[in-house]
C-alpha cells in the first residue's frame, strides 16, 4: 500500500489559516438581525435640531459632542442636493437637549480655479483639555484637491482661523482614541493617525491599500482602488478596539458591490498597518454606522442592519456584543418615518449617518432625516440589560 505523507497537506492548510488570520478572516464579526419583529423598542427622547423652511435644503454628515455644559452639533449644509458647490458647515448648541440655537456657520467654502465654489463636508468633533476641535473636509467641484481643515475653540463660540491638517481626506468620523491615546480618523479606505493628543498636528496617512493606489480619500475616490484590487467599493469606516489591542474597522459596501454585508479590516499595530479587507456576516442596509464601547465593557453598534429594504435606512438599531465578535442583542431605537419637503440629488433615507456619544448615563445619537433635517435622539443606558 502506498503511503501518503500528510505533512504537505497540513502545511498547506496551516498557511491558509495564517493568511486568513492576518487578513482578518480569523476573527470575523457578525450579528443576528433579521427584521424588527419582536425586538424591544427603547424608550427614547428626541429633539429636532434643524428643519429647513425656505432654503439650504440639504443637511447631512452630523456629529454631536458635550462640551462645557452644552451639547454641540455640527453638520454639512447645502443649497438643494448632496455635496454640490457652495455646501458649507454649520453648528447648533443646546443646554437642555430640547431647545437648540439657530444655526451658525462654522466654515464657508472658498472658490476653485474655475471660480466655482468648493464643497465643504462636516467631519466630526474632538475635545482635549478644554479645547474643542471641529473638522471639515474640502474639495473642488469635481472631487479634486481634497484637504482636511480644523477650527478650535475654548468656549464653543469664538473659533480659530482654519488650520490645515495636511491630509487629503474627507473623514467619515472625527478622531477617536485607541487605548494608547493614539488618535485615528475613520475615512473611506484611509485611516490617518497622530500621537499628538490635541488632534491638530502630526497626522500620518495609512490605508489597507498600497500607497500608489490612491492620492486622496473622498466620496468619489474609493471606486478606482477597489476595482484595481478586486474589491467592492468600500467606504465609510468605523472602528472599535478589543482587549487584545486589535483594532477592528468595519466598512460599508455601496453601489453595485452591495450585498447586504459589512466588510472588515484589522490592525494589530495600533493603526499603523491594516489587513486586506474581507466580508463579514454583519448585515447592512448600505449606510454609515458607528461602533463604540459602553462603560460595562460591552461593544455597541448603531446603524441600519436591515437588508430587506435596500437604502431605506430604517429602522435605526442598537446591537450589543460581549466579545466584539457576535452582536447578538438587538434593540429598535427608532422607526418613525419623516416626510421629505424638498427633493434633491441623492436625498433619501429615514435615519442617515448616525453618530453616537455616551455621556452622563445616556447614549446620544444624531442623524439626518432624508438628508434634509437634523435630529437628536437619546436614551438611558440602564434599559440595556
Q: How far apart are CA 27 and CA 138, in angstroms?
A: 36
Q: Is residue 2 part of a domain?
A: no
Question: What is the CATH classification number for the domain harbouring 188?
Answer: 2.120.10.10
Q: Which three cell numbers stand for residue 240?
A: 472599535
pLDDT of residue 114: 87
Give the pLDDT band of residue 27 (cuts 50, 70, 90): low
Residues 6+ apart with CB under 8 A from 224: 213, 214
SS (H, E, C) 266-330: EECCCCCCCCCCEEEEEECCCCCCEEEECCCCCEEEEECCCCCCCCCCCCEEEEEECCCCEECEE
Q: How far apart are CA 139 and CA 170, in angstroms?
A: 9
Q: Is residue 119 part of a domain?
A: yes
Q: Is residue 184 part of a domain?
A: yes
Instruction: State pLDDT tens for residues 149-186.
Output: 999 999 999 999 999 999 999 999 999 999 999 999 99
Q: What is the mean pLDDT of residues 258-266?
A: 98
Q: Is residue 1 part of a domain?
A: no
Q: Is residue 300 part of a domain?
A: yes
| Domains identified in the chain, total number | 1
Q: Is 57 helix (H, G, I), strand (E, B) or coil?
A: coil
The helices-and-strands tally (H runs, E runs) of the chain is 2, 26
Q: Is residue 10 part of a domain?
A: no
Cis check for the bond before 303: say yes or no (omega within 30 of 0).
no
Q: What is the mean pLDDT of residues 229-250?
A: 98
Question: Which run of H or of E encompasses 163?
Answer: strand 163-164
Instruction: State pLDDT tens for residues 83-119.
Output: 999 999 999 999 999 999 999 999 999 999 889 999 9
Q: Is residue 11 part of a domain?
A: no
pLDDT of residue 12: 35
CB 374 within 8 A of CB 354: no
Q: Is residue 321 part of a domain?
A: yes
Residues 6+ apart with CB under 8 A from 41: 331, 332, 335
Is pLDDT above 60 for 23? no
- Strands 362-369 and 40-41, sheet pairing: unpaired
Instruction: State pLDDT tens for residues 121-157.
Output: 999 999 999 999 999 999 999 999 999 999 999 999 9
**Percent of the chain, pLDDT > 90?**
91
Residue 312's domain comprises 17-383
Higher pLDDT, 9 or 178: 178
Question: Which run of H or of E encompasses 8?
Answer: helix 7-22
Among residues 326, 246, 247, the alpha carbon closest in space to that of 283 is found at 326
Is pLDDT above 60 for 368? yes
Amino acid at each position: 500500500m502506498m503511503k501518503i505523507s500528510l505533512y504537505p497537506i497540513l502545511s498547506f492548510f496551516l498557511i491558509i489559516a495564517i493568511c486568513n488570520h492576518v487578513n482578518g478572516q480569523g476573527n470575523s464579526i457578525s450579528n443576528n438581525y433579521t427584521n424588527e419583529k419582536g425586538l424591544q423598542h427603547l424608550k427614547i427622547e428626541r429633539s429636532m435640531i434643524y428643519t429647513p423652511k425656505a432654503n439650504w435644503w440639504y443637511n447631512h454628515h452630523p456629529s454631536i459632542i458635550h462640551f462645557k455644559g452644552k451639547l454641540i452639533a455640527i453638520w454639512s449644509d447645502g443649497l438643494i442636493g448632496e455635496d454640490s458647490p457652495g455646501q458649507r458647515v454649520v453648528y447648533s448648541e443646546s443646554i437642555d437637549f430640547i431647545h437648540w440655537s439657530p444655526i451658525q456657520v462654522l466654515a464657508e467654502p472658498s472658490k476653485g480655479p474655475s471660480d466655482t465654489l468648493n464643497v465643504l463636508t462636516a467631519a466630526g468633533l474632538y475635545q482635549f483639555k478644554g479645547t474643542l476641535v471641529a473638522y471639515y473636509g474640502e474639495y473642488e467641484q469635481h472631487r479634486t484637491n481634497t484637504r482636511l481643515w480644523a477650527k478650535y475653540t475654548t468656549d464653543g463660540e469664538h473659533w480659530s482661523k482654519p488650520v490645515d491638517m495636511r491630509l487629503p481626506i474627507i473623514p467619515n468620523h472625527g478622531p477617536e482614541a485607541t487605548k494608547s491615546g493614539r488618535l485615528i480618523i475613520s475615512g473611506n479606505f484611509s485611516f490617518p493617525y497622530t500621537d499628538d493628543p490635541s488632534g491638530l498636528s502630526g497626522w500620518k496617512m495609512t490605508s489597507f491599500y498600497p500607497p500608489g493606489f490612491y492620492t486622496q480619500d473622498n466620496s468619489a475616490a474609493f471606486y478606482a482602488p477597489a476595482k484595481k484590487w478586486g474589491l467592492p467599493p468600500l467606504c465609510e469606516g468605523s472602528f472599535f478596539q478589543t482587549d487584545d489591542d486589535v483594532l477592528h474597522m468595519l466598512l460599508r459596501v455601496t453601489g453595485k458591490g452591495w450585498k447586504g454585508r459589512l466588510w472588515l479590516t484589522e490592525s494589530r499595530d495600533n493603526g499603523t498597518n491594516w489587513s486586506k479587507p474581507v466580508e463579514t456576516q454583519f448585515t447592512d442596509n448600505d449606510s454609515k454606522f458607528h461602533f463604540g464601547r459602553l462603560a460595562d465593557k460591552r461593544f455597541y453598534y448603531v446603524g441600519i442592519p436591515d437588508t430587506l429594504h435596500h437604502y431605506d435606512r430604517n429602522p435605526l438599531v442598537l446591537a450589543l456584543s460581549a466579545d466584539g465578535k457576535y452582536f447578538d442583542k438587538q434593540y429598535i431605537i427608532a422607526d418613525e418615518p419623516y416626510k421629505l419637503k424638498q427633493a434633491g440629488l441623492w436625498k433619501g433615507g429615514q435615519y442617515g449617518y448616525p453618530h453616537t456619544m455616551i455621556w452622563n448615563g445616556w447614549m446620544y445619537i444624531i442623524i439626518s432625516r432624508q438628508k434634509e433635517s437634523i435630529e437628536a435622539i437619546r436614551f438611558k443606558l440602564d434599559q440595556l440589560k
